[in-house]
Structures are given as C-alpha cells and as structure tokens.
Amino acid sequence: MPLALYALTVGAFGIGVTEFVIMGLLIEVGADLGVSLASAGLLISGYALGVVLGAPVLTAFTARWPRKAALIGLMVVFTIGNAACALAPSYGLLMAARVLTAFAHGTFFGVGAVVATGLVAPDRRASAIATMFTGLTVANILGVPFGTWLGQHMGWRATFWAVTLVGLVALAVIALLVPRDKAAPEAGDWRADLRAMARGPVIVALLTTVFGFAGVFAVFTYIAPILTRISGFADAAVSPILLVFGGGLVVGNILGGKLADRNLSLALLGSMGALALVLLGMGLVMGNGILAILSVGLLGATGFATVAPLQIWVLERATGAGQSLASSLNIAAFNLGNALGAWAGGLVIDHGPGLAAVPLFAAAFPVAAVLLAWPSLRRERAGALARA
C-alpha cells in the first residue's frame, strides 16, 4: 500500500478518537461544566447529528476543490474544532464545538475513500479503504483508552488538546504524502449529484449500510452492562474485554477488505450473515464468561468486516455521478445505523424482554440488510451476465 494511504489512516485515527473518547469522560465533563450525566451524554448525539448533517453540506461545498485540498481543509476544521472543545467555557459552546468537529467527519471519510481507491490498482480498492479505516480501529484499541486515562488524570480538556495535536500531525502528513490531483475536478452540479443519489440502487445501498451496522451498536452501546449484569464480570474487567473487541475490529476490517476485492457480493452478504449469526449466538451464550469474551471479539470482527464491502458497493453504484457525495452519505448512513441501533437496544431494555435479549433482537438488523441487498445484487449479476 502506498504511503499516502497511511497519511489518511492518521487522519482516521484522530477522528475515531474524538468521536468515541467522550464516552469515557462523561462524568468528568458533567462535573466540570455543571450538567447532568444525561446532558453530557447528548454530546455523543450532537456529534452524530453533526456527521449526518455535515456530510452532504461540506461535500457539496468542497465539490469543486481538488481532493487533496479538500482533505487538508477538513483536517483544519477538525483541528480547530478540537481546540475549541478544549477551550470551551460552557456546555453550550462545547456542544457547538463538537458539532463543528463532526462536520469534518463524514466528508473526510467520504473523500478519503475516493482518494484511497485512486491510489491502488482496481482489484485492491476495498483493501485500500480498509487500510484507511484501520485508523478508526486503532483509535478504539489504543487512542480511546489512552484518551480516557489522560482525561481522568489530567482533566478532560487535556484529552482534546492531545487530539488537536493528532490533527496537526495528520494535517502535515496529508500535505506531504497525498499526491496532488492528476486533473482538476469537473465543475459539477450539486443538485444533479443529489438527484443521482436519489436513484433506487444508491438508496438501497445506503439503507443496507444503515441496517447492516445498526445491529453492531444495538449491542455495543450497552456492552458494559451486558458484561457486568449478564456475564457476571467485575466493572474492572470491562476495559480489558473491550481490547478483545478492538482486536476483532482490526482483523475484521482487513479481512472484509480482502474478501471484497475478490468477490464483493459474497463479502457483502457473507459479512452481514456472519454478523447476524454472532448476534444470535451472543444472545444464547453471554451467561458463560469465556464464551462471552469470544463473542465480543467476534462481534468486532464481523461488525467491521462489513465496512469496506458496504463502502465500495456504494462507490460502485455512484460511479460517474457524485462519488464523493455518495461516499460521504454512506458515512452518514453508518452513523444513522449507530443511532438506530442504540435506540432499538434501549427499547428492548426498557419496554421489551430486557438487557439479556438485546443481542437476539439486534440480529434482526443484519438479516434485514441481507434481505434488502440480495435482490439488488442478483439483478446486478443478471445484468452483468446479459451484457457479457
């Protein structure tokens, strides 16, 4: 893989840390700013909303920019946003800074995915996307635990200053290593791009992403209480077990990219089918400590094995019509899936069978994704055979 891909990985690492590290610092943020834990938790929702809203807006705004310039501009927004978080004197300004930071998220991954696929041979595009997303997985394994430790020992603002430093490093390596665009971008019409996104095949692909990833966060959002109340682990054991989840993310991310390069349809359906089976299994074995740890690792592996196939599928369906916008919207779709899964898991806990049943109900999401994608993939295959 070219060095430029690893420059994108550094940016993905910083974005991953700033998105997820706040989960471990809610108590410190709430105490410092004088807000409740629930209000502090809205900083997570605000970020997700910023990703969903910012992806199409910033992608349309930067559509005529050279892609390297767009990536640099997005890292500037990311770096300024994290510095603003570190300096925020009130809850309202911290929320605004979080939303500002989130605006760079979807467009960075969207444009970055297009750049990544252009850096490698056609048969390695999914692996290139997986390489970029490795930054996100490493952020969960190393960055988030370290950022949480730093915030707990030196104050939550120190964590955001550290992420600001990561943003500066990412800005430098992207400027140095990512090649300039070979040709000036075409003067596109964002309205035409939006109309292209409204086509049936693109909508099916985006909805597949929403449902395919919702199952992961329906469980992961509540993984700590599941491990302590259902599996019987002590609170101190949760963080080490989450390292197993992070290891699964890395393995699944790489494996999903390699499989998608060989057979996209098989990788797409197989990864989501495997995720459904793992979720069903979790619903049956979480009472056993060893099987629970194994299940957490498999959840990470099968969950992130879907990422590269889903991203490359959307890119293929948007070829020639707003690829950057389609790629960015797919990142927004992942975040919508996160929100949908967390909401559905909460319903099962509060109004359904309870915490132990969350994985069983979560399995319905990847099953729905398979049922949604399968007919479309069959039509595409039939069309390809007819043309041949």
Tens-digit pLDDT profile for residues 294-319: 999 999 999 989 888 888 888 777 75
- The confidence score (pLDDT) of residue 247 equals 86
Determine the angle formed by the axes of helices 67-87 and 3-20, rounding to 10 degrees: 30
Give the CATH number, domain containing residue 358: 1.20.1250.20
The model's pTM is 0.77
- Whether residues 123 and 205 share a domain: the answer is no
Domain-terminating residue out of 187, 208, 231: 187
- Whether residues 231 and 365 share a domain: the answer is yes
Angle at 18 between CA 17 and CA 19, to 5 degrees: 90
DSSP notation for 352-381: SS-GGGHHHHHTHHHHHHHHHHHHHHHHHH
- The confidence score (pLDDT) of residue 343 equals 82
Domain-terminating residue out of 187, 219, 245: 187
Element (H, E) at 202: helix 200-220
Residue with structure tokens 């309870």? Answer: 354
Distance CA(315)–CA(325), nearest Å, equals: 9
Which residues span the domain enclosing 16?
A: 1-187
- Ranges of residues in the chain with a pLDDT under 70 are 1, 37-38, 182-198, 319-322, 382-388
> Residues, the chain, total?
388
- Whether residues 268 and 177 share a domain: the answer is no
Q: How many CB atoms lie within 10 A of CB 360?
A: 17
- Whether residues 133 and 107 share a domain: the answer is yes
- The confidence score (pLDDT) of residue 191 equals 65
> What is the tally of structural domains in the chain?
2
- Whether residues 234 and 381 share a domain: the answer is yes
- The confidence score (pLDDT) of residue 179 equals 87
- Whether residues 181 and 211 share a domain: the answer is no
Q: Tell me the three state secondary structure of residue 181.
A: coil
- Whether residues 258 and 178 share a domain: the answer is no
- Whether residues 112 and 137 share a domain: the answer is yes
Tokens of 25: 């610092």
- Whether residues 236 and 345 share a domain: the answer is yes
- Whether residues 298 and 195 share a domain: the answer is yes
228, exposed or middle or buried, with CB in 10 Å at 0-12, 13-18, 19+? middle
- The confidence score (pLDDT) of residue 183 equals 57
Distance CA(50)–CA(47), nearest Å, equals: 5
- Whether residues 222 and 362 share a domain: the answer is yes
Domain-terminating residue out of 142, 158, 187: 187
